[in-house]
Amino acid sequence: MSTDKPKIILVLDHDIIGRIDDYRYGNRVPSRSEAIRRLILEALQKFENPPKKKP
């Protein structure tokens, strides 16, 4: 099953990989790649739509 999607090689510390795996298993995500995608998308959404400060 080939894909035309770009691939990125990422080097992470064991601690971060462990945290990603904990997220993956805790949320029943089928793969580590999918868990990383979901975490990145969530972070980007928060960055692009920051909470509004109360006056």
Query: In this predicted model, what pLDDT tens digit does every residue of 7-45 receive, in sequence order?
Result: 999 999 999 999 999 999 999 999 999 999 999 999 999
Distance separating alpha carbons of residues 5 and 12, to the nearest angstrom: 21
Exposure string for 16-49, b = 16+ CB within 10 A, e = fewer = eeeebeeebeeeebeeeeebbeebeeeeeeeeee
| Total-model pTM | 0.79
pLDDT value for 23: 98
Task: For residue 1, name the pLDDT band (cuts at 50, 70, 90).
Answer: low
pLDDT value for 51: 78
